[in-house]
Structure 1
Amino acid sequence: MVFTKENRILDHHQILQKIKRMAFEIYEQNFEEKQLVLAGIHENGYFLAQALAQELREISPLEVQLVGVSLHKTEPLTHDIQIEPALPALTHTPVVLVDDVLNTGRTLAYTLREFLEKDCKKLEIATLINRHHPLYPIAATYTGYSLSTTLREHIRVVLTENEWNAYLL
């Protein structure tokens, strides 16, 4: 895959702007809460959840707990879903599930059960880029960038120490 300036749709600065705006939206919808769980789907969703947690801690009094969610994305039914650190019951706690790209909703749909079994107060979804190709009844509550694409196009989000960019391929 070739990543070029021409096919970049979000650069580092723009991604940071999206994260900041999403953090404000999350706080606005949860300002009456004392605590909040951000659950990032590994790898990129977890990096985004870390950045959102940092922003939320700066702009709000919310106690933000960050957890990572690991699952086998191509065969989710044959492998266990891991949440680290393990969560207790979430009866009075809202959860925001975070992923980098919302395409069909499949990955997010398979993770919902883990949080529903913990009886969370509410479950919301935050995604950096929403492609609008739902095959599952999943809708993002918070979206950084909404982009209608064809099924042949792909979005690649690169979040490393040296690069934060999103590309349309």
Structure 2
Amino acid sequence: MSEVLNDKQIRQKITRMAFEIYERNLHTKGVVFAGVTGMGLILSELLAKELSHISELQVEQLEVQLDKSDVANSKISLSQNLDLTGKSLILVDDVLNTGRTVAYAMKPFLQEEISKMELAVLVNRAHGLFPLRPDYTGFELSTTLNEHIRVDLSSSSYSVHLH
């Protein structure tokens, strides 16, 4: 197991991503961060906090609840109902691997009248089986399919490891 990103690097990437989100959403009615269950939700909360710190944009958050181990058969729900009309939705997950989880996580938003939907990930592994590319990426990492990325944002010291 080797460390790919340390705490300081992750915090810098979150700040940079928040500035990019701000720049691309200056003229929107607001930004809604939709974090995928697990580390995606925590990353979403960190991005929302940072965006609120650097801008006057209206920022809201919700969780996309699903079973990452079996997304195809998982019930997909939102932690709350928000008015998304005319707002920018940022779907957030920790790692983009094949794109399967993110593709299913988009489902609840397909009937909404959002201004636009964007994707933010901390690590993009680029093993795309689905035609998805993140709009905001903390780190691009080429790996084999046998290698695994472990993101830990739950403690006071953040880390990303390659197994």
Please tell me the TM-score bracket, short chain as reference.
Answer: over 0.9
**Aligned positions of 1:68-107 closer than 5 A:** 68-88=63-83, 90-107=84-101
Match of 1:121 in 2: 115
* CA–CA distance in structure 2, aligned partners of residues 166 and 137 of structure 1: 25
Check the 8 A contact 1:100/1:157 in 2, yes or no.
yes
Match of 1:66 in 2: 61
Partner of 1:9, secondary structure, is strand
Partner of 1:138, secondary structure, is coil
Tell me, yes or no, if structure 1 residue 19 matches structure 2 residue 14.
yes
- Structure 1: where are the runs of 5+ without partners? none
- Structure 2: where are the runs of 5+ without partners? none
Deviation for aligned residue 1:133: 0.2
**Aligned positions of 1:1-169 closer than 5 A:** 3=1, 7-88=2-83, 90-169=84-163
* CA–CA distance in structure 2, aligned partners of residues 127 and 67 of structure 1: 16
Check the 8 A contact 2:123/2:139 in 1, yes or no.
yes
Deviation for aligned residue 1:40: 0.5
Deviation for aligned residue 1:75: 2.4
* CA–CA distance in structure 2, aligned partners of residues 112 and 37 of structure 1: 13
Q: TM-score, normalised by structure 1?
A: 0.92
Check the 8 A contact 2:29/2:86 in 1, yes or no.
no
* CA–CA distance in structure 1, aligned partners of residues 76 and 122 of structure 2: 22
Deviating beyond 6 angstroms after TM superposition, the runs of 4 or more aligned structure 1 residues are none
User: What RMSD in Å do the two structures reach over aligned CA positions?
Assistant: 1.2
Q: Percent identity?
A: 46
Q: Deviations over 1:55-99 (max 9, x none)?
A: 1001111110011111012322333212112233x2301100000
Q: Deviations over 1:95-129 (max 9, x none)?
A: 00000000000000001121111221100000000
